Structures are given as C-alpha cells and as structure tokens.
Structure 1
Amino acid sequence: MRVLEDGSHTGHRLAIAESVLAPHTQGPPQHRHARHDEGFYVLSGTVRFTVGDEDHDATTGTLVMVPPGTPHTFANPTDQPAVMLSTFTPDLYVQYFRDLQEVLAGGRPLTPQANIEAMSRFATRPATDLA
C-alpha cells in the first residue's frame, strides 16, 4: 500500500491510498467502521468485496463505497494482481495501515488478531456476527 494523501493537505477530511493485491490475497477480517466512509476504485484486475454475507466481484473501473456501519472486507481470488485506490473520509484510518506496516517491519506475523487489534484503535470493529 502506498499512501498518496494522508489528510495533511485536505484538513484531514480525505485520505487516498493505492493498494496492490497479489493473486489469491485474503483481505482483512470483515469489519465495520464507526467514524469514516471508505471508497474503493478498481484500477486493474478483479477485487471480491464481501458485504454482509454477499460477495460482489468488482472489475476494472468499478467504484465501491462503504458507509459507516456497513460490514465489509475484500480479497483478490484471481490469478492476476489487482490494483485499487482507496479513499477515507475523514483520514482517520490511514494510521491503521502505518500500524500494520510496523507489525511487519518488527518481524511479527500479520495475523487476524493483530489486524483486529490495529483496527480497534481507529473506531473499527470486526463484524463478528458474520464471522
């Protein structure tokens, strides 16, 4: 993931990141954000979004918006990489990705529990009723 705008130029109203999902990449545990909207624009490939108990395959050029409280996750189930832009309004969630990077840089595995612990610091909770 590459943070393109961390909110410092938008009064913390908007952050933007680019993500490359390797083939057969699992996403984060399904979760809900309490305080921010999240948007995904698929630049290339196919990304499978799970919203509640429904799967939706988003191909190149698809925009997916996730309002607060909506249970969701994403993955790349295909044999090809996928690239997407993500928006966060406000920018609250950008630090979550930096925290995950620190986990990996520290030599610790990025387990579902480590992911959930990082999420919890940014008004985000697992959608345990859908696990």
Structure 2
Amino acid sequence: MHHIIRAAETSKAPNRTWKFEGEHFGAGISFFAVDLDRGQGPGLHIHPYAETWLVLSGMVDFEVQDESLFACTGDVVIVPAHTPHRFTNSGDQPLTMVCIHDHERVIQHFLNDRPPGQTRLGAEYGSP
C-alpha cells in the first residue's frame, strides 16, 4: 500500500521540527525534518545505527565524538552507529535539514545535558 503524508497534517514541535517513523508505513527508515533557530539542537546522544543528515539550508556545527565539524547548505554528514554526536544551528537563519535514521523507529540515548547557553530540544528528539 502506498502512503502520502501531507506537511500540513504533521504534528510539529514548537521549534517546527517533525518526526517520521517508518514502521507505521512498512518503511525501513525514519527521519526528522528539522527546522531550528540559532543555538537550537539536541543534546549529546547515540543511536544503534548510522545517522545521515542532508542540510537543505543554513549552517550547522556538529560535535562527533571529540571532533568539531561544520556543514552548510547542500552538505551531507554521516555518523556511524554508537558514535556520540550532537548538532547546533550556528547560523543567523533557520536551519533546515533531514536527519535520516537507518531504522524503522528512532532509537536514541542521550548522554548528558547541553552546555550552558544552548537550547536543548525536548520530546521531538526522544526522551533522555
């Protein structure tokens, strides 16, 4: 069976991000359609699978293990399974990107809180 999910029918978090989990539709992937303001992003976390990001617009700083990475519009970032990571919108404009999870459900474990001055997102990124 085919499905179409209309953007207007999705439940968005206060920061405009929404989550798709493929298990409800027979799809083997899940994703977050991210739309964040400057300074927003999830806390340090891991997944038992790889995660891939496609930056649609904006600038984003990633922390992957102990390495800092910068990505912007059009870039693709891949982080292997079980690798601690987080990201933050580092630009002056909203950050839009797709965070692709290589699993039919989003599974993530938060490792600690964000540094002072950065906004930690809530339920749309799972529970710590």
TM-score in terms of structure 1 length: 0.64
Where do 5+ consecutive residues of structure 2 fail to align? Answer: 1-16, 109-118
- The answer to whether the 8 Å contact 1:32/1:69 transfers is yes
Is 1:90 paired with 2:103? Answer: yes
Structure whose residues are more often helix by fraction? 1
Where do 5+ consecutive residues of structure 1 fail to align? Answer: 97-109, 120-131
| 1:24 alignment partner in structure 2 | 39
The whole-number CA distance in structure 1 between the counterparts of 2:106 and 2:61 is 21
| 2:83 alignment partner in structure 1 | 70
TM-score in terms of structure 2 length: 0.65
- The answer to whether the 8 Å contact 1:28/1:115 transfers is no
> Would you identify which runs of 4 or more consecutive aligned residues in structure 1 move more than 3 Å?
110-117
The alignment's C-alpha RMSD in Å is 2.9
